Amino acid sequence: MTDAPKTPSRRWLLAGGAAAAGALTLAACGRKSESAAASAEGKAALPSGAFAEGKGPEVTGAKLGFIALTDCSPLIVAKEKGLFAKYGLPDVEVLKQASWGATRDNLVLGSAAGGIDGAHILTPMPYLLTTGQATGGKPTPMYILARLNLNGQAISIGNDLKALSVGLDASAAKARFAELKAKGKPSQVAMTFRGGTHDLWLRYWLAAGGVHPDKDVSTIVIPPPQMVANLKAGTQDAFCVGEPWNGQTVNQQIGYSACVTSELWMDHPEKALGLRADWVDKNPIAAKALLMAVQEAQQWCDPVENREEMCRIVSGRQWINVPLADILPRQLGEIDYGSGRVEKASAHVMKFWRNDASFPFKSHDLWFLTEDQRWGVLPASLDARALVDKVNRSDLWREAAAAIGAAAPAGDSRGRETFFDGKVFDPDNPKAWLDAQPIKSLA
């Protein structure tokens, strides 16, 4: 599939130009060499050209958290296929977290106190930790080193509302939501973390249909692996989450997919590789090695011919722990919405590398922060652009990509983004986006 070209934002266009040129000059480095065995001192040699410093990583491992969602696959593949070891980090641990709240708490602790150093994480969360918004006012500075994927989430509806034929247009449920609210039993719609990606997709979908997510329904937090069970138990009417839980909902015949989130915004950013800033600052060579391993894993995960093996790996008991039939079809672009609609070779497939899926565009992070301002998670007075420049380490992504011979985008903006309802986000003017939203809850 060929995507329409994006128009880059002038503000960020030049920011990555010099780094991109450096990436091109180093494009031949690293990919053809295999790592040597660890030396007697315990330091592993890295692929040729990987580090100009000539030194291995400062540490041999890190503790990385993940949630049982298909978009954690690059971390699991990097571990299972020995890519962390290849780049001098044989002791990396990839540790399952019970919820995004647990991920947050373990990042605050850090590995020295029994927590974790980084994680597969909802893109806004490193910002919510850095500002202290999600940590009771005590900031935990974080960096975003890479995006882990584009697309691959959905909004699922329980069978109780199936007769309404709610799809991409949420307005079909507006009258029913009003009826339930009038009876004192507002509809329960679930997401995974306040201010996170699933919260923002759900809110955008509802608001575009004229439903206020803070007034017309009850928006609740549920960990991803519990979504299907709660829908089956009748304790929620709809939810937004990543795969494989939407596919499992359809397979168990307890609901259907109203839409996949890339129908709201095609090729939208989703999860990120986030690490504590102090860990990266203390271990810059190890951070680069970690990033190289993840980038290589993303390259492996992306081709359709590798998807079945990827799904067999990540569906295992120690990882996502679901039947292969719940996870594989949507990774191949085969989407059964559970409503009679079935798509083959869908353009809405999850992407790990193609279309610059791994690159952490600053313009995308700015959209997430603007939406969190829209819904009162972050103050309207926040200098969002300055915060993005502090947290988003696209410079490190470029360095790591150059070391493995991968090209990088020319700049840090993907340009103007168009949503399904016709609204356009211009990263040069986020205030205009906020002003254009009729439904919002500004702090």
Cα angle for residues 405, 273, 103 (degrees, 5° grid) = 160
What b/e sequence results for 82-93 when a residue is b if at least 16 CB atoms lie within 10 Å of its CB, and e otherwise?
ebbbbbbbeebe
What b/e sequence results for 233-260 when a residue is b if at least 16 CB atoms lie within 10 Å of its CB, and e otherwise?
eeebbbbbbbbbbbbbbbbeebbbbbbb
pLDDT at 225: 95
Burial class (CB in 10 A: 0-12, 13-18, 19+), 437: middle
Q: Contact 9/411 with Cβ under 8 angstroms?
A: yes
Q: Contact 408/23 with Cβ under 8 angstroms?
A: yes
Report CA-CA distances (Å) from 334 to 68, 277, 331, 365.
21, 39, 7, 29
Task: Give 295-359 as a DSSP string.
Answer: HHHHHHHSSHHHHHHHHHHHTSTTTT---HHHHHHHHTT-EE-SSS-EESS-TT--BSSGGGTTS
pLDDT by residue for the chain (443 residues), tens digit each? 333 334 334 334 334 333 333 333 333 333 333 333 333 333 333 333 344 446 899 999 999 999 999 999 999 999 999 999 999 999 999 999 999 999 999 999 999 999 999 999 999 999 999 999 999 999 999 999 999 999 999 999 999 899 999 999 999 999 999 999 999 999 999 999 999 999 999 999 999 999 999 999 999 999 999 999 999 999 999 999 999 999 999 999 999 999 999 999 999 999 999 999 999 999 999 999 999 999 999 999 999 999 999 999 999 999 999 999 999 999 999 999 999 999 999 999 999 999 999 999 999 999 999 999 999 999 999 999 999 999 999 999 999 999 999 999 999 999 999 999 999 999 999 999 999 999 999 98
pLDDT at 54: 62
pLDDT at 443: 85
pLDDT at 1: 37
Closest to 359 in 3D by CA, of 12, 1, 11? 12
Strand, helix or coil for residue 179: helix
pLDDT at 4: 36
Backbone angles phi, psi at 384, to 5 degrees: -65, -40
